[in-house]
Amino acid sequence: MGADVSGNPAGDAIRMNILQIIRNRLRALTQKGTLDAEMEEEIRAHLEMRTQDKIREGMNPEEARFSALRQFGWKESIKENCREQRGVNWLENLARDLRIAVRQMFKTPGFTAVAVFTIALGVGVNTSMFSALQAVLVRPLPYPNADRLVQIFRTTPQSQRDPHSVANFLDYQSQNRDFEAMGVATDKPFNLAEAGKPAESVRGVQISAGFLTMLGIQPVLGRLFTAEEDRPGHDHVAVLEHGYWLRRFGGDPNIIGHVLRMDGEPVTVVGVMPEQSYDIMLTGPISVWRPLAFTEDQQRNRGGSFLKCYGRLKPGVSFQQAQAEMEMIATRLARDYPDNNSAQGLELVPLSESALPAQGRAIVWLTMVLAGFVLLIACANLANLQFARTATRLRELAIRGALGAPRGRLLCQLLTESLSLAFVGGVVGIFVAHWCNRLLSTQLMIDHESVLKLPLNLRTLGFAFAASTVSGLAFGLIPAWLASRTNVNGALKQGARGTTGDRAQHRVQHTLIVIEVALALSLLAGAGLVVNGLRGFASLDPGWKVDGLTIGYLTLPESKYPNGNALRTFNDRLQETLAALPGVESATLCWTMPVTQFNVAGSFEIEGRPESEKGHSPVRFLNGVTPPYFGTLGMKFLEGRNFVPTDTTNHTPVVIINEKMARNFWPNESPIGKRVEGEEIVGVVTNVRFPANPAELKTPFQTYRPLAQEPRTRLVIAVRGNLSGDILRRAVAQLDPDQPVSDAGPASARVGSSLDNWAVGSRLLTCFALLGLSLAALGIYGVISGFVAQRTAEIGVRMALGARMQNVLWLVLGKGLRLSLFGTLIGLLGAFGLVRILGSVMPALPASDPRVILFVATLLLSVTFFACWLPARRAARVDPIVALRNE
């Protein structure tokens, strides 16, 4: 290793005396005056000694003094060089630049206001989106070592996020080595009855033993569940959610040991959860936690999949390692139990990211990107404004450059100005974000409760800071760079007659405008398509009459209705009671209503046809209904007949299928009398779609069974006739006062509340688009105004030479319109790209609707036309005499 040829010894200084350096620099900062005075005196002493020296050599005193001065060189420059050695020069420069920046802000309050406002909007919207992104995609989990928590999904050819069966879960649990603990949960509503209070349906979760311990939760009162409480018969215990404990029981500290009647059984409260929200499934607030006791039958069941599975990795076990192990277990299960497990996989997702499926994540990311567009437009706008402003200062900059200010320093100063503007904008932006967050969290709801908390935490504030820095750099860098390389001669010469700026600058400005317009068009097109798509979706016929239908949900406790006969008796009586109510045209009971989806699905094979490959059987939605179901919902029979009471007593179970299934499997023949999974098809009805689920547009295969054939504890009541939900409650209370009806009300309200979140999204996009449009219009207005101001003299000459007002008007308008047309053309490309992405995320949207694109393009062009027309009119009214006199 040879020595550095330049031999710079300072570079070798490994043993720098750091403390000494810090002391020196602090001194340089705090005692600048003293140090400068000392420097001055030192130089004076030096000069004197030199003079003395020269006098000794025989010069006369006067001559010696001048000679010494000459030899010394330019004192101020040397002093500046010395000051730079103190190592704090940059700080002093920064302070000076900041002072100048602040002075500039106050000197041009109009510009400052526009700039701060624009940045605040851009940064605010993005920060708000970022907090939403954070809250939804990477939820901060209130559990210790939450990075080791995962959710485990079962993947099938049909779905990426299927639940698990009990037997499978027990195998995962016994066969894995990489998990510290594994647990399952399933949500279940409980009917809570207390003497003197009306029955209430509360949202509950049933969890396997050790589930809460796995998460690392400590109760604030009482205890969690013990291992014994995991067995059937011992599970009559409950842990209350903190908020529910406060609301329902007034935060009673003596609640432990209190016995509640849940689903008709006595259940003892053993604990109260801590205060944080433990909504691990993001299905809305949970009120009660109960043990999940598996019966022996369940422990052998691999077909019924209803469990959500979670796990905590052992310390030091990597995510990939655990994933590999679960894949191995899945392969083993597929081999050992091909009937239920073939073509299935197991996928780990970090718990913090598992709340939203891929589609939801895509929507959130997309929204974030679109918010980014708004910020980009804001930056482009400010860059143009900054151009106009630096143009008026080119002279000053040129002179400073000529006097020896290094280009870097000028660049730094201009950048400091734009950055300080950006930071002020960012601070205001945080308020904007706060306001947006409040608005968003009150608008986005699950079951009428806003579950999304959007706090402004350190990370979001960091994001706001980063966004302002980036935008400050983005809108400051190009103008500053162009200004700092100004040709001194040119600037001084032109400066005398009002700067025209150079060509490069105009090119950049025009490019920025084109980009702004293009981005704005993409935003408008995206928003237009979503709004239009949702409106189109809402007006689609779902295949059943939503209006005039009142629905309610009922869950009967197994303890009171332990078997099919008990349920059937209750159902029959309820059906009769409902039908007899005044004002009821027809009434029905069913497993599920086609609002967002059917809750029950299953794969099937058609008898007499070759079986599908294992795991690739077609899937149909199943619903159990009483005979008046089809009439009540307004569906029509295409073939065959409705269910009759004798259907249940016959040997062969019967089903009714939908048109889609009939057409798909019996395209050229009647399906009546054919058999599916041992069931005989007796009728074909029209298709129904889910009017509240724009993500699921394809009509699925649907099969209806008689309710009496397989009565379930969870029921939906539906009656036609304009009734209030209370009537349903009273009708049920007549039969069993312990059973509450939840969410009773018009079906249209249920559909509407599910669609509301989509509507919030489309409003959000519309806001982005309008913001983008206004900013782009403002930008083009600014640039064209600048163009007119710079060329007032030229316009004056033209008019003096006989140009008419119209010519001038078109000169200016043409310039602006060329830019916006060009931007629109590029924007169309962007719009088509965006539409494709949107279409893949929200299948309900039409792939691309030319009318929407045409509409937004026209809107954009008209707005930009108006933005150009204002300055153009001003130009056309230029009085040649005034214009030339100003020259």
Interface contacts to other proteins, rule CB under 8 A? 2-10, 12-17, 19-21, 24-25, 28, 38, 41-43, 45-46, 48-50, 52-53, 71-74, 77-78, 81-87
DSSP 225-278: --GGGGSTTS--EEEE-HHHHHHHHTT-TT-TT-EEEETTEEEEEEEE--SS--
Report the nearest approach of other proteins to the CB of residue 35 (Å): 10
- Of 9 and 673, the one with the shorter C-beta distance to other proteins is 9
Report the nearest approach of other proteins to the CB of residue 404 (Å): 15
Report the nearest approach of other proteins to the CB of residue 46 (Å): 5
Write a three-state SS string for 378-401.
HHHHHHHHHHHHHHHHHHHHHHHH
- Of 4 and 613, the one with the shorter C-beta distance to other proteins is 4
- Of 85 and 226, the one with the shorter C-beta distance to other proteins is 85
Q: Cα(699)–Cα(702) distance, rounded to whole angstroms?
A: 9
How many CA atoms are closer than 13 Å to the CA of 398, on its beta-carbon side?
A: 19
Q: Which of 235, 269, 265, 238 is CA-nearest to residue 253? A: 269
- Of 39 and 821, the one with the shorter C-beta distance to other proteins is 39
Torsion of CA 56, 59, 60, 65, to 10 degrees: -90
CA gyration radius for the chain? 38
291 forms beta bridges with 207
Report the nearest approach of other proteins to the CB of residue 59 (Å): 16
Residue 256 makes CB contacts below 8 A (sequence gap 6+) with: 221, 222, 269, 270, 271, 272
Report the nearest approach of other proteins to the CB of residue 92 (Å): 14
586 forms beta bridges with 720
- Of 28 and 556, the one with the shorter C-beta distance to other proteins is 28
Q: And the tokens for 295?
A: 């019966």
Report the nearest approach of other proteins to the CB of residue 834 (Å): 56
Residue 214 makes CB contacts below 8 A (sequence gap 6+) with: 149, 180, 181, 182, 183, 310, 311, 312
- Of 48 and 887, the one with the shorter C-beta distance to other proteins is 48
- Of 72 and 431, the one with the shorter C-beta distance to other proteins is 72
Q: Which of 817, 755, 853 is CA-nearest to residue 523? A: 853
- Of 16 and 496, the one with the shorter C-beta distance to other proteins is 16
Contact between 118 and 425 under an 8 Å Cβ cutoff? The reply is yes
Q: And the tokens for 877?
A: 């009214």
Q: And the tokens for 264?
A: 């008709």
- Of 40 and 228, the one with the shorter C-beta distance to other proteins is 40
Report the nearest approach of other proteins to the CB of residue 56 (Å): 11
- Of 19 and 801, the one with the shorter C-beta distance to other proteins is 19
Contact between 459 and 489 under an 8 Å Cβ cutoff? The reply is no
Q: Which of 811, 886, 104, 847 is CA-nearest to residue 536? A: 847
Q: Cα(499)–Cα(95) distance, rounded to whole angstroms?
A: 30
Report the nearest approach of other proteins to the CB of residue 28 (Å): 8
Helix H or strand E encompassing 550: strand 549-555
DSSP 7-45: --GGGG--S--HHHHHHHHHHHHHTHHHHHHHHHHHHHH
Q: Cα(827)–Cα(861) distance, rounded to whole angstroms?
A: 12
- Of 51 and 287, the one with the shorter C-beta distance to other proteins is 51
Residue 176 makes CB contacts below 8 A (sequence gap 6+) with: 182, 311, 322, 325, 326, 329
Q: Cα(798)–Cα(547) distance, rounded to whole angstroms?
A: 68
Report the nearest approach of other proteins to the CB of residue 31 (Å): 14
- Of 35 and 412, the one with the shorter C-beta distance to other proteins is 35
Q: Cα(125)–Cα(385) distance, rounded to whole angstroms?
A: 21
- Of 46 and 730, the one with the shorter C-beta distance to other proteins is 46
Are β-strands 265-272 and 259-262 bridged in parallel, bridged antiparallel, or unpaired? antiparallel
Q: Cα(317)–Cα(325) distance, rounded to whole angstroms?
A: 11
| Most distant CA pair in the chain, distance | 138
- Of 52 and 664, the one with the shorter C-beta distance to other proteins is 52
How many CA atoms are closer than 13 Å to the CA of 837, on its beta-carbon side?
A: 19
- Of 68 and 635, the one with the shorter C-beta distance to other proteins is 68
Report the nearest approach of other proteins to the CB of residue 38 (Å): 7
- Of 78 and 854, the one with the shorter C-beta distance to other proteins is 78
Report the nearest approach of other proteins to the CB of residue 48 (Å): 6
Q: And the tokens for 608?
A: 């007499």
Q: Cα(13)–Cα(540) distance, rounded to whole angstroms?
A: 77
DSSP 127-192: HHHHHHHHHHHSPPP-STTGGGEEEEEEE-SS-SSB-EEHHHHHHHHHH-SSEEEEEEEEEEEEEE
Report the nearest approach of other proteins to the CB of residue 26 (Å): 12
Residue position matching structure tokens 């900054």: 386
Residue 495 makes CB contacts below 8 A (sequence gap 6+) with: 394, 395, 398
Report the nearest approach of other proteins to the CB of residue 882 (Å): 55
- Of 81 and 563, the one with the shorter C-beta distance to other proteins is 81
- Of 79 and 763, the one with the shorter C-beta distance to other proteins is 79
Q: Cα(305)–Cα(172) distance, rounded to whole angstroms?
A: 14
Residue 300 CB coordination number (10 Å): 12
